[in-house]
Structure 1
Amino acid sequence: MREPNLEKLNALVGKLVNDLGISLGGASILLGDRLGLYKAMADGDIFTPSELAKKTGLHERYVREWLSGQAASGYIDYHPEKNAFSLSAEQAMAFAEEGSPAFFAGAFDVVQSTYLDEPKVAEAFRTGKGVGWHEHSKCLFSGTERFFRPGYNANLVSNWIPTLEGVEAKLKAGAKVADVGCGHGASTIVMAQAYPKSRFFGFDYHKPSIDRAKVLAQEAGVGDRIEFAQASAKDFPAKDYDLVAFFDCLHDMGDPVGAGKHVKETLAKDGSWMIVEPFAHDNLKDNLNPIGSIFYHASTFICTPASLSQEVGLGLGAQAGESKLRQVATEAGFKRFRRATETPFNMIFEVRA
């Protein structure tokens, strides 16, 4: 047995203790989200456990333990002089306000799916076969929408679309837009709300997601401006689209080049393909950071198995990087490819013939 460096070992154990607390805290975040505990505290009032239990209709002893764990994690504030707890404005944005650009509670539905589906992924490691998106637990589908929606709310209309050449003007005047791999339609709905003169078409191969997207669009008041339909990235109907958008899904596809070739056939003259992908550098060493950690772990359980379950099975992964994405677009027949803008979580590419 090799002799360990005790200083390095202690540092690693310290990190694991922290990560263990975070892992357990994720389940506690799910609990608070689903039971409405965060939303009950969103106004900033200070609550004793019994007061919060009464407001939420929950058992006081459970609420007290949950509050204590949340305070230990730094997710809520503890007031020792009153033996009570509160949610700051910043914490409310992260845990209670669904429309906030910093809302994070929904992301832990995705985390839950990785634990639930670990046996399927383990078997895929042994066989080399994939795990299709549709084979995952239902919490992945809602969690993905809730994880990415804050970024779309904060950036899609105000930042991303204006960086695309001539696209914003077309959308304001009235354009045809395809949102491919739309899932529950979060991105489609944001665009439809912002550009009432345009017509939107949302496509996803997963029928339960399409059914949910239709409901959410009606609730958002834009059901009359969006047509959702079940279709894959290689067979969605061509309608001379002014814009085809792929939000955080190209890397999940088994044959992204084939998907790109189909996009080229469906675009109107002078149309644009917008690709939104998880932020990544081209070299692994540059992605060894907290955001890279999130995306590599998610890709191990979700993105890479999804790609390997399909024809070709290219397996780009969620940290593909710009060079590999550029290669996909080039092989699909596009001549112009540029990074239009970026955020800490996403890269936005404009692709044109």
Structure 2
Amino acid sequence: MAEATQVNREKLETYLKQVSQQVMAGFNCSLSYVGDELGLYRQLRDEGPVTSVEFAECTGLHERWLREWLRHQACVGQIEYSTENDSFSLSPEAAIVLCDDENPFYFAAGFKAVVATHSAVPKLGDAFRTGLGLSYDDQGEACACGIERLNNYVPRNELVQNILPSLDGVVEKLKAGARVADVGCGAGQAILVMAEAFPASEFVGYDTSEHALNSAHAHLRETDLKNVRFVNPATEPLPSDGSVDFATTFDVVHDAPYPEQLIADVYGCLKADGTWLCSDIRSFPTFAENLAENPSAGLFYGFSLMICMSSSMSTPDGAGLGTLGFNEEVAREMTEALGFSRFERLEFGTSVNSYYEVRP
């Protein structure tokens, strides 16, 4: 019989507090999602400071439910509370994170992405037993929508303005008229921005998710663009004749069940002087480094288990790279092994992503 382990009461209480905070965070994702869907953060930004009664009047919602929601949000530190007049408000910083989807610090869509995965939780036990994960379409339309909203800033504000000009000769080709393939295009945010900026070029977005393609087609219908198509590579594969001038992938390779095949397909589609812009999640080569140096590692491993690694293992022989699995070292090794001769990390980057210029 094992000897009884002596328990440190102070450490026990500290650990219980830590777990309690995680449970609280779980509730907060659901309740913040509701607030985002109802437009409560934007309303609070525009109308605050307000009491719950005043908030009910300006939103048209039930005061008692609003009162409890406001109190919860104040307790978790997402909104401000004044004891002087029992009012609630949103700080300027909170307004950026929770309301301004044109700002790089915006993150409210993360709540939607998390809540959208809740339906997959009962299936995780089977995934642990069999190894088989869920594809993006298995996760449902809401998950695709949440991820789309998380990925709006860089395409709208950085891609044409800063990223493309940092690539050797790419802008000149796009202005003159180039063939472009966006592999794993999702809802099409990046390719639509590029197509508008470079009307002489022809753009094709490829994605296996029908939810993503439906959204991409809907966004395309809102424009007058005639130089963009969206297709499923299962029915129209990426060309293998070396006819593409410029290929892009944005947070795609780590999701892919067959990343080597994806990289090989990109290599095969490109002209000899073509360019691949590869963006993926910034991470370290080892778990020990991510644990010690990456303050968002817990968030990313959560995304990985619920979405990214799950997608990468949605086939029986999937690679399972995971959200933090395609770091610069791995990316360099895999691209070189599959024929690419030039790999450079761009100076441009964000706290989340690294960007690579890869050439045959």
The TM-score normalised by the length of structure 2 is 0.90
> 1:255–1:310: 8 Å Cα contact kept in structure 2?
no
Work out whether 1:345 is the aligned partner of 2:347: no
Contact 2:239 2:268 in 1 (8 A): no
**Does residue 290 of structure 1 match 2:295?**
yes
Counterpart pick for 1:330 among 316, 333, 336: 336
Q: 1:48 to 1:204 in 2, by over 3 A?
A: same
Identity of aligned residues (%): 36
Structure 2 SS opposite 1:317: coil
Quick check: 30-39 or 127-136, which moved more?
Answer: 127-136
Q: Does the residue aligned with 1:179 lie in a helix, a strand or coil?
A: strand
**Segment of structure 1 superposing worse, 116-125 or 92-101:** 92-101
| The one of 99, 104, 116 aligned to 2:102 | 99
| Structure 1 residue 156: Cα displacement | 2.5
Q: Secondary structure at the match of 1:280?
A: coil
**1:73 paired to 2:80:** no
| Structure 2 residue ranges without an equivalent (≥5) | none
One-letter amino acid of the structure 2 residue matched with residue 305 of structure 1: S
Amino acid at match of 1:235: P
String of CA shifts for 1:105-127, please: whole Å, max 9, x gaps: 11112211332211222211101
1:118 aligns with 2:130: no
SS of the aligned residue for 2:321 comes to coil
Instruction: Spell out, residue by residue over 1:24-54, the C-alpha distance to the aligned partner (whole angstroms, 9 max, x if none).
Output: 1111110011111122223253222122222
Partner of 1:10: 13
1:269-308 to structure 2, matched below 5 A, reads 269-288=272-291, 289-308=294-313
Whether 2:231 is the aligned partner of 1:229: answer yes
Shift of 1:196: 4.1
Summarize the Cα distance change of 1:150–1:337 in structure 2 as closer, same or farther, 3 Å threshold.
Answer: same
Superimposed CA distance per residue, residues 234-253 of structure 1 (whole angstroms, 9 cap, x where no aligned partner) = 92245822211111111111
Match of 2:141 among 138, 148, 154: 138
Provide the rounded CA distance (Å) in 1 between the counterparts of 2:174 and 2:10: 58
Residues 150-169 of structure 1 deviation map (CA, whole Å, 9 limit, x = unaligned):
34434333443233222233
Cα distance in 1 for residues equivalent to 2:124 and 2:190: 28
1:222, distance to aligned residue in structure 2 (A): 5.3
What is the 5 A alignment of 1:194-209?
Answer: 194-209=197-212
- Map 1:145-184 → 2, pairs under 5 A: 145-184=148-187
Q: Secondary structure at the match of 1:228?
A: strand
Shift of 1:311: 6.6
8 Å Cα contact 2:312-2:318 kept in structure 1: yes
2:35 equivalent to 1:29: no
Provide, for residues 54-98 of structure 1, a one-character-per-residue CA deviation record: whole Å limited to 9, x for no partner: 222211111111111112222222222221122233222211223
CA contact (8 A) 2:51 2:87 kept: yes
Query: For the Cα contact (< 8 Å) 1:273–1:350, is it kept in 2?
Result: yes
The Cα of 1:312 is off from its aligned counterpart by: 4.2
CA deviations over 1:215-265 (Å, ceiling 9, x no partner):
12333x354332111225992245822211111111111211111111112
Please tell me the residue identity of whatever aligns with 1:328.
Answer: M
- TM-score, with structure 1 as normaliser: 0.91
Distance in 2 separating the partners of 1:202 and 1:116: 29
In the TM superposition, what is the alpha-carbon distance from 1:3 to its structure 2 partner?
Answer: 2.1
Q: Residue 90 of structure 2 is aligned with which of 87, 93, 104? A: 87
Q: Which runs of at least 4 in structure 1 moved beyond 4 Å after TM superposition? A: none
Q: Retained in 2: the 8 A contact 1:334–1:352?
A: yes
Distance 2:40 2:269 in 1: 47
Deviation, structure 1 residue 170: 2.7
Counterpart of 1:246 in 2: which secondary structure?
strand
Shift in Å at residue 352 of structure 1?
0.5
Cα distance in structure 2, aligned partners of 1:330 and 1:119: 40
- Which shifted more, 126-135 or 38-47? 38-47
